[in-house]
Amino acid sequence: MTAWITSMPFPVPRRTSCPTGEAIKVQTPSSTADANARRLAMAVGRGDEAAFRELYDRYHGRLFRFALVLGHGDESLAGETVQSVFVTAATSLRCVESEEHLWNWLARIARQQLAKTWRERQQHSVVVGVPDLPECADTHEQDSMLEENLDAALLAMKAEDRQLIEWFYFDGLSHNEIAERLSATAKAVSSRLERARACLRSTLKRTLSHET
């Protein structure tokens, strides 16, 4: 499984029959999501590669967005963080109680990895600034607030810049694929992406500095 992790690219309830006379237990979306999360965590803990792929497909996009906000727009750091989270999940994830519990577990690993990276940067360079992690516990509501900060930052950008960011980071398109969509060159796309990234980083830092 570890070999597959290093090559990762860079986000209906079953109907069962009941005997006559027995009450039918209705599965709500929440209970179904919780059951799926428990199943997934247990399967990953057993080393099931298919389950790990499902975990990755289901959460890598959200984790990247989350890490991008915590990293104040540093997309390289966000990518490294997401990679580390899934390496940890492959070796340490065992069981969870609910979908929210699973997400909080993944988010906590992301926070720990970011804090570790920033400490290492601080130790090895007096030039690199090390921002503080936002002070918040591992709760779904607070993590959602950070994701909302990213959404707000994206909405504040020009539509064409926002589209580039979404295509490249969230849809996984390459420079060449984006260039084909825009009838432009890959070099032009790279330059535009660099400007869009700088704008996103600036907006996120400004937003988070008002909340910390």
Rounded Cα distance, 136 and 151, in Å: 19
Residues 93-144 pLDDT 10s: 988 999 989 998 998 899 888 888 877 777 654 433 444 444 444 445 555 6
pTM above 0.75, yes or no: no
Token pair in block for residue 81: 């963080």
Using CA atoms, how far apart are residues 111 and 137, in angstroms rounded to an integer?
A: 10
Residue 200 has pLDDT above 90, yes or no: no
Task: Give 2-57 pLDDT, tens digit per residue.
Answer: 555 555 544 433 333 334 444 444 456 678 889 999 999 999 999 999 999 999 99
First-to-last alpha carbon distance for the chain, in angstroms, is: 38
Sequence spans of domains, the chain: 2-10+28-209
Q: What's the rounded Cα separation, in Å, for the pair 116 and 169?
A: 23
Query: So what's the pLDDT on residue 187?
Result: 92
**Model pLDDT, residue 208:** 63
Residue 175 confidence (pLDDT) above 80: yes
The predicted structure's pLDDT at residue 1: 61
